Amino acid sequence: MNKNLLLLSIVVPVYNEEEVIEEFNRRLVNTFSKTDIKYEVIYVNDGSNSQTSKILRKIADSAKNIRLIELSRNFGHQIAVTAGLDYSSGEIVVVIDADLQDPPEIILQMIDQWRNGYKVVYGIRRNRKENIFKRMAYYSFYRLLQNFSKVYIPPDSGDFSLMDRQVVNMLVAMPERNRFVRGLRSWVGFKQIGIEYDRDERFAGKSKYSLSKLFLLASDGVVNFSITPINMISNIGLFLFVSSILAAIFLIIWRISNFKILGHMPSDVQGFTTLAVLLLFFSGVQLLSVGIIGQYIGRIYDESKQRPKYIVENELGFSKSKNNLIFGDQRGAQEVKTSGEIL
């Protein structure tokens, strides 16, 4: 591989990061200033407030290799990453958060591993500097996912990663809308390796992941990558079905023979409590099951609508700027891209 041809795209999803983004850009640019790596930075403005948007435009104006995609509203982190991947043209692509929790300097180590032949190099968080509740939630989520999913999704790896063009092209070609990028990244296979790093605290600002957004991400992770929840329902259902038949046979025999159990005859009017409890229990199980099935149906519904994944309002700094409104899918469906010289 000719070193000078190496073109790295760095995809940075940004949502209301006015306190961090300039510092982030400085550290990122600094990281590469001592190298001869040719790179582009693609900021994806995921419907941020005007302050962040203004700063991003300024940053994009400051250098030719810094580009900006502005989405027409907040589409969420995973979709913003997807948009960035669609627009990337580097031989390798790095996805990194804008809040400096993922140190940009690690990218150089990732590139070394790529030179060693790995197609995906993902960051593994050695320790998290987040509150205990969030840490516990993450811990259980990744273990649950590992048990459920047939695809090996490395625990404690986030979206911070380097991907070879071949992998990126696969991701870009995937039409699904409920995206769990780190899962898809594992699903494609190829030679993958993790690099451990300390996940810093946010440089400034608050996490843009609310509890509900995190929950949605987690359920995308589980439901998109396994049918274990459906199998569990079937198993519980089978168990309940068999036990209720046994119970029914017993009750009928009891009624007919009218023998005493613990001093009770079936003809005594009793057992309202039991019935009520049973009724509640079974309707609970049923509702839960219907809920889980609903998760899948909801996703089938989403996918079947074939909506664009995102809508780009503006593109800044790209050489082949087209019309103002570009649907993500049209861009994604383009010919397989090769490493273009666009600097």
CA quadruple 256, 260, 262, 263: dihedral, nearest 10: 130
Sequence-distant (6+) residues with CB within 8 A of 290 are none
Between residues 75 and 118, which has the closer beta carbon with respect to ligand UDP?
A: 75
Applying CB under 6 A, the residues found at the interface with ligand UDP are: 13-15, 17, 46, 74, 76-77, 80, 97-99, 101, 207-209
Tokens 């049923």, residue located:
286
From the list Mg ion, ligand UDP, none, which binds 56 (C-beta under 5 to 8 Å, kind-based)? none
Query: Of 70 and 97, which CB lies nearer to ligand UDP in the complex structure?
Result: 97
* Strand, coil or helix: 240: helix
Binding-site member from 25, 48, 101, 289 for Mg ion (CB under 5 A): 101
Question: Would you count residue 102 as binding Mg ion (CB under 5 A)?
Answer: no
Strand partners, 261: 264
> Exposed, middle or buried, 329 (CB in 10 Å: 0-12/13-18/19+)?
middle
CB of 129 to Mg ion, least distance (A): 10
CB of 88 to ligand UDP, least distance (A): 16
Give whichever of 178 and 289 is closer to ligand UDP, judged by the CB atom. Answer: 178
Residues 331, 87 contacting (CB under 8 angstroms): yes
Which C-beta is closer to ligand UDP: that of 200 or that of 329? 200
Other C-beta atoms within 10 Å of 266: how many?
A: 18
Contact between 40 and Mg ion per CB under 5 A: no
**Distance between CA 125 and CA 145 in Å, rounded?**
17
Least gap, CB of 171 to Mg ion (angstroms): 21
Looking at the Cβ atoms of 77 and 119, the one nearer to ligand UDP is: 77
Residues that bind Mg ion (CB under 5 A): 97, 99, 101
